[in-house]
Amino acid sequence: MNNFSMLQALSGGVLIGISAALLLWLTGHVAGISGIIGRLLFAVKKSDEVIWRVLFLVGLVAGAKLYYLGFAEAPTGREYFPVWLLVVSGLLVGFGSSLGKGCTSGHGVCGLGRLSVRSLVATLIFLSVAIITTFLIRHVFGLGAH
Amino acid sequence: MAKHIVGLLTGLIFGFGLALSGMTQPEKVLGFLDMAGRWDPSLLFVLGGAVGVTVISFRFILRRKKPVLDSRYYFSDETHIDRSLVIGAVLFGVGWGIGGYCPGPAVTLLAAPSWELWAFLPAMLLGIFLQKFWAARREEKNVVDEVAEQNDCS
C-alpha cells in the first residue's frame, strides 16, 4: 500500500457513503446490495419497486464502467484460482448474506451508519470469520494462492 | 419517476466508488483479510470513509420524519440478535474469505467481467435462491404445524 492507494480507498469509501446517504435521504431505502438483489428476485411484485432497484444495479455497473474507461484497468482473472472454490464461495456468499439479511454494504455501511447493534454484531462476525477463512485457505490448505 | 432517477444516480456513485476503492479487486480484498501475509490495510480506509459518512449523515437524515420522496423509511426495526443473523454472517464470512468477493463488487464487475465472475456470480445467485426457497418451505411447514396444533387443541 502507498499513499495513493490509501487516498483512493478513502475517496472510494466516501463515495459509497454519500450514495447510501442520498438513497436513504431521498427514498428511505437502505443501499444493501444483497437485499436489493434478493428483493428483486423474490419479494417485490409492484413494478414501481422493481424499477428503481434494477436502475440501481444498472448504475452500479455503469459507474464501474466509467471508472475503468477513464481511470484504470479492470482487474483480470486469477488464472491460478480453482473454479470449484469460486463456486463454493459464491454459494456461501449468496446463502449467508440472504440468511443474515445483509452483507458488507447493508450491515457494514448502512447498518453501522444508523448504529444498529444487529449490524455491528453481523459485521464483526463476518469480518473476523473472513480473516480466519483467508488464513486457513492460504496458509493451512495452501489453496487459492500463487 | 424521481425515485427511479435517484436509484440510477446512487447506483452510479456507488459503483464508481467501489471500483475506485479497490473493493472490486478480489486479490486486494484478500490481501486485506490475510493478516498473516503481506497485509494491505487500505480497505480499512474504504470502510472508514463509508461508515464515517453514513454515521454522520444518517443522524441528520433520520431526524426527518420521512424521506423526501416517500412516506416512510424501509429498514427493519428488528433488534434481536437471532440465530439466522449469526449463522448467516458466519457463512457469508467464509465465502468472502475464500474468494474475496462480496455481493456489491460481484454485480459491479459485470462492467468488466473476468472468467471468475462467470463462476462466482451464478453461484451467488443460486445461493440466494436456495436460501429464499428453504426459508419459504420452512415457513410453510411452520404454518402447517401451527394449524395441526390448533386442530389438536380443538
Which of A87, A116, A134 has the CB atom closest to B30's CB atom?
A134
Which residues contact residue A61 at a Cβ distance below 8 angstroms, ignoring those fewer than 6 apart?
B15, B107, B108, B110, B111
d(CA B49, CA B60) in angstroms, rounded, equals 18
pLDDT in tens, chain B (154 residues): 899 999 999 999 999 999 999 999 999 999 999 998 889 998 999 999 999 999 999 999 999 999 999 999 998 888 899 999 999 999 999 999 999 999 999 999 999 999 999 999 999 999 999 999 999 888 888 777 766 665 555 4
Span of A57-71, A76-90, A115-129, B67-81 with lowest mean pLDDT: B67-81
Give me the mean pLDDT over the A102-129 stretch.
Answer: 94
Residue A56 lies in a domain: no
Residue A103 lies in a domain: yes
> Which residue from B50, B27, B48, B32 is spatially nearest to A74, judged by alpha carbons?
B27
Q: Which three cell numbers stand for residue A113?
A: 451508519
Instruction: State the complex-level ipTM.
Output: 0.94
Expressed as residue numbers, the domain containing A91 is 80-146
Which of B22, B36, B52 has the CB atom closest to A17's CB atom?
B52
Our CA-based measurement puts residue B125 at a distance from the nearest CA of chain A, in whole angstroms, of: 6
Residue A93 lies in a domain: yes
The region, left, alpha or beta by phi > 0 then psi within -120 to 50, assigned to residue B6 is alpha
d(CA A28, CA A12) in angstroms, rounded, equals 23
**Touching check for B137 and chain A: CB below 8 Å?**
no
- CA-based angle A22:A98:B107, to the nearest 5? 55
- List the single residue in B with minimal CA-CA distance to A65: B111
Provide the residue ranges of all domains of chain B, joining segments of one domain with +.
2-79
Q: How many domains does chain A have?
A: 1
Residue A49 lies in a domain: no
Residue A85 lies in a domain: yes
Residue A118 lies in a domain: yes
